[in-house]
Amino acid sequence: MKWFSIPSFFVLLCSGLLLGQPSSPPSSSSSSSSFDFVIRMGQGGFTDDRSPVGKLGGGQVNLDVYPRAWPVGLSIFTEYYTNSASPSHSYEIADLIALNLLYRGRLFGVDRLHYFLGGGAGWLAVPEGEDSPDEYISTDAYNLEAGVNVLAFWKIGFYGIGKYLHAHRVMNNVAVIDFDEAIVMVGITFNFSL
């Protein structure tokens, strides 16, 4: 049984909206800035019974852009989840590229502690299989995510997220892509304004 689901995401969303406040510019940045940028780089993974080790590990790189006038921004990211440096199984995600709409706010009113939550859509590619590891099958992917970014010092921070990923594709009555995954990731952030 998975610990993270769509209903738990909405509970987290509602509690975040009740506990947090809309984001305001950090006190250390220039008040003449129009946009806040967050670069996120992290590692994480999910459990998967199709894998011989029962899990897949992966990483992500995100660019989040928030207009200072609104608490809503865009996030473009790429992720991968594999058992090796060269994915060769159809249960491994060789590439995931997506665009999310995120809401950001200050958690408990603390200026250096932000939560973010939202979702979006993108594209996912998996290897065709062991016989053709260099051939890929792709499909649409959808995700929801919620996380916290803690600005630790200067412009450097740390983040943690929980996310839900859905992607499904059937070819010749066989599910060649089948992901309904709860993913956990942690990493570092670089935060700046322009």
DSSP H or E run through 146:
strand 132-153
pLDDT recorded at residue 31? 61
pLDDT recorded at residue 130? 77
* In a domain? residue 152: yes
In this prediction, the residues of the chain whose per-residue pLDDT falls under 70 are: 1-31, 133
* In a domain? residue 37: yes
Task: Please tell me the total count of domains within the chain.
Answer: 1
Q: Are 88 and 133 in contact (CB under 8 A)?
A: yes
pLDDT recorded at residue 3? 43
* In a domain? residue 1: no
Residue with tokens 């740390």: 158
pLDDT recorded at residue 18? 44
pLDDT recorded at residue 191? 97
pLDDT recorded at residue 26? 46
What global pTM score does this model have?
Answer: 0.82
The parent domain of residue 153 ranges over: 6-21+32-193
Q: Are 121 and 147 in contact (CB under 8 A)?
A: no
pLDDT recorded at residue 13? 46
pLDDT recorded at residue 29? 46
- Residue 73 CB neighbour total at 10 angstroms: 22
Residues 175, 48, 96, 105, CA torsion sign: positive
* In a domain? residue 26: no
Q: Please provide the DSSP assignment of 62-131 as one string.
A: EEEEEETTSSEEEEEEEEEEESSSS--STTSEEEEEEEEEEEEEEETT-TTEEEEEEEEEEEEEEEEETT
Question: Residue 85 sits in a domain of what CATH number?
Answer: 2.40.160.20
